[in-house]
Amino acid sequence: MNRKVEARRAVFAIPGDLTARTGGYIYGERLAQGLRTLGWQFDILNLGRSFPNPTPADMAAALASLAAVPADTVLLVDGLAFGALDTVGLTAVKAPICALVHHPLALESGVAPDRATVLRQLETANLTMARQVIVTSSHTAATLAHDFGVPEQRITVALPGTDRPEKPSQPSTVPHILAVGSLTQRKGHDVLMAALASLTDLEWTAEIVGGPHDPAVTSQLKAQRAALGLEQGVQFIGELERTELDACYARASLFALATRNEGYGMVFTEATANGLPIVSCATGALPETAPKDSSILVPPDDPPAFAAALRSILTNPALMDRLTNGAPAAAADLPTWEQTVSLAGIALAKTMDGPAV
């Protein structure tokens, strides 16, 4: 859809740097690019880096900045901040609000129970102030409707788009396992390495691509790698630019991420578009994101089950071929970013034109 809509104004409030190479930030960046193409005046408002556990200074500055957005401008607020904002302070906002929720903060892995309770209360209250809510999966839509009381008519599911690779994959001769995800507890890299430690009788190499977003987890993972004797087999690559990440997908034989929860999981559709079999966990939105014909999903937090799935692929060429051949058909049905942006634009227009909450 290339037709431009009438000029509208929106401010996208997001914590941290929109150019960060994580799924949520990439989604936001592509929305910004696409909506500007459709004729929106789309500005970025940085709310500070400390969300979703904001410092008092960041909270005060964020609320003041949000309150300053004029009433004739749609305010799109990223869920990483929206679910942690002070509810009373949020009532001072004049602009119509649209929330962008990848997955509820209260359901994030590793959140202390008392903090999860606070976040659930904040998110539930704050979501009542949003005229519209954009989510990135049907799973998150159902969670918000069932557990957070968001009316279904206010929710728009805008699945992330998927870029098709420009070059065909050229997998390594030795099976090469790729994991893409920030070094946080939720991504389950500790489970992956525990699984790989039981596969040292097989020939393989592995790369974990992702930024060190949690220093404590990063240290734990590197210590675990050393303790398991995997320093030669498993490489931590860090955060990569798009062309470098594409090269990682191109040389991989299979994609493996032992995630504990996903609101959608853009890296899984990227793996599918690159023709890779997937080993992951039956959690969050993954049963709907990972194609059934090209993936094996096991219970989360189960290293033996994860290892068994990897072993079955690495030792069975027929299974590897079947899963690999299942990826292209699944990739053909993936949405484009143009479709994603179109749906988001409709939700923003409803936010501007709809009745006050």
Q: Would you say domain 8-161+336-353 falls under CATH 3.40.630.10?
A: no
Q: Any idea where the domains of the chain sit in the sequence?
A: 8-161+336-353, 176-332
Q: What is the dihedral of CA 256, 259, 262, 266, to 10 degrees?
A: -30
| Model confidence, pTM | 0.79
Cα separation, 20 vs 80, in Å, equals 14
Cβ–Cβ < 8 Å for 255, 306: no
Take residue 226 and report the two structure tokens written for it.
């050393």
Kindly give the confidence (pLDDT) of every residue in the chain, 357 residues in length, as a single tens digit, with 9 standing for 90 and above: 444 444 589 999 998 777 666 767 888 888 998 999 988 999 999 998 888 889 999 999 999 999 999 999 999 999 989 999 999 999 999 999 999 999 898 888 778 888 999 999 999 999 999 999 999 989 999 999 999 999 999 999 999 988 877 766 666 689 999 999 999 999 999 999 999 999 999 999 999 999 887 889 999 999 999 999 999 999 999 888 888 999 999 999 999 999 998 888 889 999 999 999 999 999 988 998 899 999 999 999 999 999 999 999 999 999 999 999 999 888 888 888 999 999 999 999 999 886 555
Own/partner long-range contacts of 145-149 (Cβ < 8 Å, ≥24 apart):
147/104, 148/104, 148/120, 148/123, 148/124, 149/124
Q: Please classify residue 154 by burial: count the beta carbons closer than 10 Å to its beta carbon, then call 0-12 exposed, 13-18 middle and 19+ buried.
A: buried
CATH topology match: 8-161+336-353 vs 176-332: yes
Name the CATH code of domain 176-332 (choices 3.40.50.1240, 3.40.50.2000, 3.30.465.10, 1.10.10.10): 3.40.50.2000
168-201 tens-digit pLDDT: 666 668 999 999 999 999 999 999 999 999 999 9
CA angle 65–69–70, rounded 5-degree value: 155
